[in-house]
Amino acid sequence: MLPEDILTASARVLNQSDREAYFRDGVVAVDGVIDEGWLARLQAVSEEMVARSGAVAQSTEAFDIGPGHSARVPHLRRLRAAVDQHPDLWTFAGPGPLADIAADLVGPDVKFHSAKLNYKWPGYGEVVKWHQDIPAWPHTNYSPVTLGVYLSDVGPEDGPLVAIAGSHEGELFSHTDTDGGWRGSVTEADMAGVDMDCARPLTGRAGTLVAINCRTLHASGANDSARPRPLLLNVYSSADAFAWMPAPTPTRHTGEIVRGEPARLAHLDPRPCPVPPNWDEVGYGSIFTAQATSPAAAE
């Protein structure tokens, strides 16, 4: 669906001005749309998953583990395929309230793509370098949106997401090295051409919703605070968007229609998209492992 068609349908959860801001800037942060009860439930699930990660010594299908990890001091960087790891995470993202928000941004027919729960722990200096999402999981159009929910208060010290407003209308950059290896980030040379005056730090209290279009350049800095920063990220698209390469981290629900009807026609956006590696062949860890091998600095 095209933005103008999506915007003609009545809003379910978001304000019309938030929806318009999303299509104008490729990003919007909204406070107050995640129910307090759900927030508490998600926070409890997050704590449970961190505790559970303490039982593993190295990364698994579910847990992306960082350096210094132990049962006593877990260093869980990412809960992978999050909706497969705890029923509440699917209840929230699939048949639950988040799909209504997705419908406000992708149209009434909503397809679920993927989910992860990212953490930034104090003291590790982990940054997520500048990247766009769609080069990792290309679709036939650019409707995919990542809906992030901060599970803790996120101020400037906590490693907030930062997005370049308007970059969704610009170029899609290569995230691959010249030898075809996945870098997972945009080069410094490409970033030199980006207007950093448009960088927008996405701070907010726990429960803040952050919507980032799949073409929008974004990154996040180190967590310099004393508390962890858990961030739940779910990806949706219009039903008429079809992935044309395997997903890096598929879930049991990837491709499922969570609102409305399956598409009878695919929507093909003519703007080209770089081809990622075939994840079914090369495997995918997480953005942290992919970017760790990259020399390009984010910020």
Contacts with ligand AKG by CB under 6 A lie at 118, 128, 133, 161, 218, 220, 231, 287
Alpha-carbon gap, residue 245 to 256, rounded angstroms: 16
Nearer to ligand AKG, 185 or 238 (CB): 185
Cβ proximity to ligand AKG: between 85 and 220 the closer is 220
For residue 116, how far is the Cα from the chain centroid? 8
Give CA–CA dist 269/241, Å, rounded: 9
| Closer residue to ligand AKG (CB): 7 or 187 | 187
Residue 21 backbone zone (phi > 0: left; psi -120 to 50: alpha; other: beta) = alpha
Q: Which is nearer to ligand AKG, 13 or 231 (CB)?
A: 231
Which residues are 162's β-sheet partners?
201, 219
Question: Which helix (DSSP H) or strand (DSSP E) does residue 118 occupy?
Answer: strand 110-120
Are 269 and 141 in contact by the 8 Å Cβ rule? The answer is: yes
Q: How far is the CB of 161 from ligand AKG (least distance, A)?
A: 5
Closest distance to ligand AKG from the beta carbon of 10 (Å): 30
Name the residue nearer to ligand AKG (CB basis): 220 or 238: 220
As a whole number of angstroms, the distance between CA 72 and CA 70 comes to 5
Neighbours of 126 (CB within 10 A): 21
Nearest distance from residue 13's CB to ligand AKG, in Å? 23
Locus of tokens 């159009």: 141
Helix axes of 97-106 and 16-25: crossing angle, nearest 10 degrees: 60
Task: Give me the least distance between CB of 299 and ligand AKG, in Å please.
Answer: 12
Q: In terms of CB distance, is 3 or 159 closer to ligand AKG? A: 159
Rounded Cα gap, residues 233 and 210, in angstroms:
9
d(CA 22, CA 15): 11
Minimum distance between the CB of residue 263 and ligand AKG, rounded to whole angstroms?
A: 25
Nearest residue (CB) to ligand AKG, 201 versus 260: 201
| DSSP structure class, residue 207 | T
Shortest separation between residue 258's beta carbon and ligand AKG, angstroms: 21
d(CA 214, CA 231): 17
113, 243 contact by CB (below 8 A): yes
As measured in angstroms, the least distance from the Cβ of 205 to ligand AKG is: 17
At residue 197, the 3 state secondary structure works out as helix
Between 7 and 114, whose beta carbon lies closer to ligand AKG?
Answer: 114
* Shortest separation between residue 143's beta carbon and ligand AKG, angstroms: 17
